[in-house]
Amino acid sequence: MLKEMLRVAGGLMLCLWLACAPAYAADKDMPAEVFTRQVAEMVRERMPGVKVEVMAPLELNLVPASGEDARIYLNNIYTLYLAEQVDGRPALLERYIASYTEPLPEAPVKREEVVAVIKGNDWLAEMERLAKGQGKPYEGIYERLNAHLLVFYAQDMPTRMRYLNKSDLEAAGLDRSGLRPLAVANLKRQMPEIEVYREEVFSMVVAGGTYEASILLFDDFWKGERARMAGPPMVSVPARDLLLFVDSSNPEAVAQLEALTRKMWGDTAYAVSDALFIAAPGGWRPVER
């Protein structure tokens, strides 16, 4: 189901938005402290053998009977919760809690489960900070797409996404050099039909609400879009479920893309980057602004 978005960026109306995506004028009717306590209680009910500590607003620490502590940061789910219709909030929280409380599979990751996830520098910095706090280096598997974006590799499961590390690859017998084509092929196979909603100068990609940013890696898709334009495509990925693009030869479109990207990046959950990128030989080149 789609809903209209707010009018932004100099009068641009970008209609058609996923109902599960964050609204950009969220009703902040629950303080972060109250939300954190509510989530903590839900986790305690579902994980009675785990001590759940509230460290700060939107930050929990899980202490199992054995093994390492785990930090949970609630910023993204809090943003989604505030934007959700009141009657949809319980189900949203249940899905989120299930992603932490359901046990991980013991079998190695399967080749068909490997997917590519686009992230920004801030996300990598946060993962490295968390790992350092536990006295170890960050071991996630990723490669750099450009100065602002990275491609992480994850195991896609029904209720969660788990980022892969070196030991996961070894257990599954996966070669790191072949991850990109494998992960992209898997995404293409499992992703719903890619839809493009086009305004007069502006387009938005919709493909299920989780992996839209990863469509940057679909060369065949962009070959088709390039044929429609006078100049190379210019894109932005302010969040993992937001992929916006324009014809780079149109100055008005570029200005609208820049304004809308900054607005969305500042307000959305699962933020990626506020940078713009233009299609170039060898990949997506950051646009100097």
pLDDT in tens, 12-65: 334 333 333 433 334 457 888 999 999 999 888 888 888 999 988 988 888 887
**Between 67 and 54, the higher pLDDT residue:** 54
Q: In which residue are the tokens 């893309």 written?
A: 257
Q: How many domains does one find in the chain?
A: 3
Residue 26 located in a structural domain: no
Q: Is residue 64 domain-shared with residue 52, that is, in the same domain? A: yes
Q: Is residue 118 domain-shared with residue 143, that is, in the same domain? A: yes
Percent of the chain with pLDDT over 70: 89
Q: Is residue 196 domain-shared with residue 282, that is, in the same domain? A: yes
Q: Is residue 38 domain-shared with residue 91, that is, in the same domain? A: yes
Q: Is residue 184 domain-shared with residue 196, that is, in the same domain? A: no
Residue 60 located in a structural domain: yes
Residue 8 located in a structural domain: no
Residue 135 located in a structural domain: yes
For the residues 265-286, what does the mean pLDDT come to?
91
pLDDT of residue 104: 66
Report whether 109 contacts 154 (CB < 8 A): no
Residue 18 located in a structural domain: no
This prediction has a pTM of: 0.76
Domain C-terminal end among 59, 78, 101: 101
Residue 4 located in a structural domain: no
Q: Is residue 239 domain-shared with residue 201, that is, in the same domain? A: yes
Domain C-terminal end among 136, 162, 188: 188
pLDDT of residue 1: 30
Q: Is residue 169 domain-shared with residue 208, that is, in the same domain? A: no
Q: Is residue 233 domain-shared with residue 259, that is, in the same domain? A: yes
**Which segment, 34-48, 61-75, 137-151, is predicted with the most confidence on average?**
137-151
> Range of 47's domain?
32-101
Residues 6+ apart with CB under 8 A from 257: 202, 234, 236, 244, 245, 246, 276
Q: Is residue 244 domain-shared with residue 166, that is, in the same domain? A: no
Q: Is residue 196 domain-shared with residue 281, that is, in the same domain? A: yes
Q: Is residue 220 domain-shared with residue 268, that is, in the same domain? A: yes
pLDDT of residue 11: 35
What residues are paired with 116 via a beta bridge?
A: 153
Residue 2 located in a structural domain: no
For the residues 203-221, what does the mean pLDDT come to?
94
Lowest average pLDDT, out of 88-102, 161-175, 233-247, goes to 88-102
Domain C-terminal end among 79, 101, 123: 101
Spatial CA neighbour of 115 closest among 208, 182, 16? 182
Residue 67 located in a structural domain: yes
Q: Has residue 7 got a pLDDT over 70?
A: no
DSSP strand pairing (149-156 vs 142-144): antiparallel
Report whether 192 contacts 207 (CB < 8 A): yes
DSSP E strand boundaries for the chain: 2-3, 7-8, 12-13, 17-18, 51-56, 59-63, 70-73, 114-120, 142-144, 149-156, 161-163, 195-198, 203-206, 233-239, 242-247, 277-280, 283-286
Q: Is residue 135 domain-shared with residue 200, that is, in the same domain? A: no
User: What mean pLDDT is reported for the chain?
Assistant: 85
